[in-house]
Amino acid sequence: MESAKRKLTWKNFIGYGATDLFGGGFLAVMSAWMLYFYTTFCGLSPIAAGSIIGIARIVDAIASPTMGYITDSFGRTRLGKKFGKRRFFLLLGMPLMALYALMWISGMNYWYYLITYLLMEFIAAMILIPYETLASEMTNNFNERTKLSSVRLVYSGLASTLATYIPSLLFGHFGKNSPSVFFFNGLIFAIIFFVALFVTHRTTWDREETITDQEKVPFIQSLIKPFFSLASTFRIKSFRQHLLIYICSFTAMDVLSAVFVYFIVFALHKDAILAANLLTICAFLQMVCTPLYGWLVLKIGPSNSMKVAYTLVIAGVAGIISLYLIQPSFMVTALYVMAFLIGLGRSGLYYIPWNIYPFIPDVDEIVTRQRREGVFAGIMTFVRKSTTALATFIVGAVLSSGGFVDKATTQSPEAIHTIIGVLIVGNIGLLVISFIVAITFKLSKKNHTILLAEVNRLKNNGPMKSVDAETRNVVEALTGWKYEKLWGNNNVAYWSNTTHTQDFKKSNIN
């Protein structure tokens, strides 16, 4: 039976989502606590701490796209045939989770933190890129992919909850000024990540290889292909829109995570335990409200659902800023209300882009006639890690230039105003951009069904000249290409020979 047509059970849905305990937890802990840990317990300035993230992004700019190309081709190798071209990397990553705990040892020098961060970033790319392709690998069905994405995002929400709840428990046990909180937090998460990878590896499968997948190109061209494939993805309209929404909205939340603790501690003069509890509320709501947004997407569409999510988050962030200005007596209660709004909106903000993502390779297929899940996953992973890193780096640089003093128990009014400015520009401003782009986004369940039907028709040698008007309009809106230029009749994907184009013209044009 073809892999994409195998029937999924709840064991597969639940098992598939488990690895987002790593995907969500790794990034949630890093964005919420890494800068605070580096500047408070490791003696690093905000600029030094931010430079670690920046250097990692330079390395990852090459590593992630290359890893995506490798996973697309790995099924041809002996290891890929035996363990799966995607799932092999889950297996490989299990013992490497021990490194995550080593990142959180205090009192080491700059080079220790740089090296451990770089290694963990590479391991994350090695795991997350093949993992992110599995929903597209396992099924073509819209509803099943939606369920896979929904379950995955529940795990991500759970990971985000644990990323704040576990530290709050450890703060209570060790004290808010103990670096042991971060080491034991890293150790606990390393164990969680190991188990999650094991479960996903045992309950998922890869798409079967096809003749097209195995086509070979000359060696020199094979070296160029990963970078050509990376650039070519931006020629797909739906992906450009999706990526801009993804970058702006996720970076906005990373900025919020990076400065939230600082805002609570220094602007509102509350402690880190309250900050952790508020973040826990946000993360918990992110998890439990995922089914709500799944229902909303089906009822009112992705675009309108995103508008709801952005409005809630903007209202919550504006609310916590107003608390600094008003200084009400019911400050703590109001903070929990604002955390509720942010958490409710953040659930949709995270869910909807990841619900849409598995369908992007289908849009690409009608343009290129290729399955390039790995390349898209490579870009998405690179962008996701880059948003976290970029937010952390920019926040560190802006705070430093705005008068923030590391290891200080209080901050100057100038530093506090800088924190507020970061929230306004880096969170609310980016969400407004996402809101605007979401208005024009056309990928929906109805349009995806039309798209798949047309792909199947063309695969069965249906002539392009027989396309109906609705299908033409839909695929052109999704791809950004004229219909006559689709199905390989273009230079979007990398092809080393002319046979493919000749076959295309014979079977579809004449």
One domain for residues 474 and 402:
no
- Position 200 scores a pLDDT of 94
Mean pLDDT of 266-292: 85
Q: What pLDDT is stored for residue 496 in this prediction?
A: 39
For residue 426, what are the CA distances in angstroms to 140, 251, 252, 423?
A: 37, 8, 6, 5
Q: Establish if 6 belongs to a structural domain.
A: no
Tell me, yes or no, whether 167 and 250 share the same domain: yes
Residue 217 within any structural domain of the chain: no
Is 459 found in the same domain as 435? no
Both 267 and 184 in a single domain?
A: yes
DSSP-derived secondary structure for 373-413: HHHHHHHHHHHHHHHHHHHHHHHHHHHHHTT--TT-SS--H
Let me know whether 472 and 398 are in one domain: no
Q: Is residue 5 part of a domain?
A: no
- Stated as kind and residue range, the H or E segment containing 254 is helix 237-262
Residues 476 and 365 reside in one and the same domain: no
Residues 36 and 120 in one domain: yes
Residue 438 and residue 473 share a domain? no
Query: What pLDDT does 218 receive?
Result: 53
Lowest-pLDDT range of 47-51, 119-123, 216-220, 429-433: 216-220
On whether both 236 and 315 belong to a single domain, the answer is yes
* 2 is a domain residue: no
The 10s digit of each residue's pLDDT in 71-97 is: 777 777 788 778 778 888 999 999 999
Q: What string of DSSP letters covers 170-197?
A: HHHHH-TT-THHHHHHHHHHHHHHHHHH
Q: Report pLDDT for 488.
A: 86
Residue 360 lies in a domain: yes
Of 443, 474, 500, the residue at which a domain comes to its end is 443
Same domain, residue pair 484 and 417: no
In order of 83, 480, 487, the CA distances from 369 in angstroms are: 26, 16, 6
Output the CA angle 501-507-510, nearest 5 degrees.
100
What CATH number has the domain bearing residue 92?
Answer: 1.20.1250.20
CB 142 within 8 A of CB 449: yes
Task: Quote the number of domains for the chain.
Answer: 2
Query: Which pLDDT tens digit goes with each residue over 297-356?
Result: 878 888 889 999 999 999 999 999 999 999 999 999 999 999 999 999 998 988 888 788
Q: Strand, coil or helix: what is 303? A: helix
Same structural domain, 256 and 395:
yes
Last residue of a domain, one of 443, 477, 500: 443
**What is the H or E stretch that residue 72 is in?**
helix 46-73
pLDDT in tens, 371-422: 887 778 777 767 776 676 677 777 788 888 888 887 677 888 898 999 999 9
Q: Are 258 and 50 within 8 A, CB to CB?
A: no
Token readout for 371 is 């399955």
Q: pLDDT (tens digit, 9 = 90+) per residue, 202-247?
A: 999 887 765 444 445 554 555 566 667 777 888 999 999 999 998 8
Residue span of the structural domain in which 143 resides: 15-207+225-443
Q: Is 350 part of a structural domain of the chain?
A: yes
Same domain, 465 and 375: no
- One-letter-per-residue 3-state SS of 469-488: HHHHHHHHHHHCCCHHHCCC
Query: What is the reported pTM?
Result: 0.70
